Structure 1
Amino acid sequence: MDEGVDEELLTIGAFAARARLSAKALRLYDRLGLLVPAHVDEVSGYRYYRASQTGRARLVALLRQLDMPLSLVADVVGAEGAEASDRLTAYWADVETRVAGQRTLAEYLRGRLSGRSSDMYGKFVVETVDVAEQVVITETRHTLADELPPWIEASLNRLECAARECGGVTGAPFVVYHAEVSMESDGPAESCVPVADEAAARAWAEARGRSWDTKVRVEPAQRLAYTRITKAQVAHPQILAAFEAVEQWMAEQGLRHAGPCREVYFADWEAAGPQDAVCDVAFPVR
């Protein structure tokens, strides 16, 4: 160690051994500002750490064992007391929600792989309904699955507010999936609200709708094959079984797809309980 360096400082190797981290990890944490050395030799570039930094180093290592992204690790170690604890609590709640969804998906996939999928589909009652032509105002977005639920809520709220200027809402709002929405595929998805006055809707869209990727279109009269699901079943991946049940029923009935699949929200989402019916999973058919 250079003579000008305080003897209380530890070399990166000694500090890595004490903190139970690799030197490579310490260099990464330095670059990210998570754990900055107490001293860097201007000539050699060697990093030196104080023994008192061991606690922070071990905290970073433990948070990483929770698979916490480095950006969130920085938020936690940069906070103090209750705030740091609250940030960890929020992160772990998100982890448990994700794992619960993955557990459900794993059970669903086990059913498919073991040939039990027909039993799973049997709990869904599939019917058809004829829907008249509708004028709809829409908002479209490319979005991944984790961003989809808040976007649906926000976009439908915006469109329902806008419908007041378009003669009012005349039917249940719905979301059309023009391509798959998953953790790898971003759709797009299109939120739609039926309105009464097409001319007023087009004037509204021309004046204020462009920033939302909003448009007005006429949804043709069509027949839908659908199954009704509860609020609990709307969550991903539970809803996947509902979509596949409708498609299986269509195949059995000799019906073909006549447009992209959709979710039709006919109930008050906020007021509904987990077992209340809130949504129709549907496919246009011919």
Structure 2
Amino acid sequence: MKSLLAPGHRGCAGCCDAMAAKFALMGAGEDCIVINPTGCLEVMTTPFPETAWDVPWVHSLFENAAAVGAGVEAALKALGKKENTKVLVMGGDGATLDIGMRSISGAFERGHDLTYVCIDNEAYMNTGVQRSGATPYNASTTTSPSGKVSFGNPRPKKNMPAIMAAHGAPYVATTSIGFPKDMIKKVAKATEIEGPTYIHAHAPCTTGWGFDTSKTVEVAKAAVNTGLWPLYEMEDGEVTKVRKLGKNIKPVEDYLKMQRRFSHLFKMEGGEEEIAKIQAIADKNIEVYGL
């Protein structure tokens, strides 16, 4: 299968965004138009006058990628060219869960035929690892630092897939760059369904999370295998498929120890209790999704 994201971009070694974009394009195919807001993926693939994109690509503002995608979709329909061409919006968690929430909500409420892929590295990595609505509980970022009065981010991760399902999206799915075939398959399925579809891809960031560049896929798999990141599909608001873990479920400590952003939990007084709270989050996912 041809890679539609060319090598030679300026992403970090082990870059999660590059992997996610490559897998998403493999799922969508050559006949697609990509809309990409400001963020790591945009910056490292398109330093003027270069581009790593082998498909038509549009750079939007941080906050309006879904609105631009909706405009592209409407234009294709007006020109009679929408039948086979997929409109693929790819944004980070900041551009999706926070800054772009209004335009995403509008595009989905209006029923535009597009697929939105959130590449979730759980913070604003491009601008200095600031906390986002996708930052997990107790993670240390530059705007939610761990220290004498804080264990890190005090708020739970926003459940964006549930929000998009509540918009009446016919297809919503979670995936992870640690499971390429799963991501490719889900993006392919999403782009073939008429209407607004949503894919939320977990994407560990070597720079912001603090792990060796060779460990990106290993960290991604650990998030899934602990139950902290369940893989599932939703159709018309109902969970229809779940990746079962069975007896292979790992304790969250195995995942947390791999990352510098959680290292304080193993050093600070009261850290054990906080790790137990994170384990409770995984345990609830295991119960709710029947992992």
Same-fold call, TM cutoff 0.5: no
Normalised by the length of structure 1, the TM-score is 0.23
* Structure with greater proportional strand content: 1
Normalised by the length of structure 2, the TM-score is 0.23
